[in-house]
Chain A
């Protein structure tokens, strides 16, 4: 396959997945049912994993599916289940001042769009011939970024202990 054809296919794939992600994200923040919002969030997170593959970040994409779609989503559904008696549509999931969020978000989007198009314009991403090798990634994590990794392990341990302490009954 020619490189140009591959590039066209990548762009079409990007467009379709991006559209799906944006629709899913809008549903997450507008739908009137917590469980439906969680399921739309699955669409967005899976789309993000596909975009990571397009950005040749294979390992991050797999981790995204494992951690987000697998673990975090189950946590959300458990949280919904444990904090609400009824699972179904609910009238007032929004603040009474929810309309203020619309201009704030649109203003931020406008400024960011302007800055990004001004800054990057039609600059092309380099087209790598392979995915990021996992070996190089592990060399990076356990080499120059070993101390952040160690701190991160500690943070995770503290978070797990903290969650247990907060959520236990007595």
Chain B
């Protein structure tokens, strides 16, 4: 297997995730797109872990998974709070701090 095939798969997933973050209005969908981005990063970490014959990439990937779980927990709690206060989780209505 080539190194570049895993890196390219990671790049494609990353770009799809970036598109999702930019294009989606629903806050839950934006969080899902962020998960896509984090997974593409993990794919790269593991590919380099094998390329360099080092185990550190696996450790970093596990840490990224744990941080992603924490991020989703706090993110969904915030979305829930926004929904409770405004009856909507549409991100383009959250423009109170716009200058």
Whether the pair A48, B39 counts as a contact (CB closer than 8 A) is yes
Instruction: State whether B14 touches A112 (Cβ < 8 A).
Output: yes
User: Which applies to chain B's interface (DSSP): helix, strand, loop or mixed?
Assistant: helix
Q: A83-B79, A123-B3, A132-B58 are in contact. Are A60 and B50 (CB under 8 A)?
A: no
CB of A126 within 8 A of CB of B19, answer no
Question: Within 8 Å CB of A71, what residues of B?
Answer: 69
B69 → A minimal CB distance (Å): 6
How large, as a class, is the contact surface on chain A?
35 or more
B22:A98 contact, CB within 8 angstroms = yes
Q: In the bound complex, how far is the Cα of B70 from the Cα of A152, in angstroms?
A: 10
Q: Chain A residues near B59 (CB, 8 Å)?
A: 137, 140-141, 145
Q: What A residues does B66 contact at CB under 8 A?
A: 67, 152, 156
A residues 137-164 with Cβ under 8 Å of B?
137, 140-141, 145, 148-149, 152, 155-156, 159-160, 162-164
- What are 25 of the A-B contact pairs (CB < 8 Å)? A18-B5, A21-B9, A25-B16, A34-B26, A34-B28, A48-B43, A57-B50, A60-B42, A63-B62, A63-B65, A64-B65, A72-B68, A76-B28, A76-B76, A93-B26, A96-B92, A99-B23, A104-B19, A109-B12, A121-B4, A137-B55, A140-B56, A141-B59, A152-B67, A164-B77
B→A interface (CB under 8 Å) = 1-9, 11-29, 31-33, 35-36, 39, 42-43, 46-47, 49-51, 53, 55-59, 61-63, 65-74, 76-81, 83, 89, 91-92
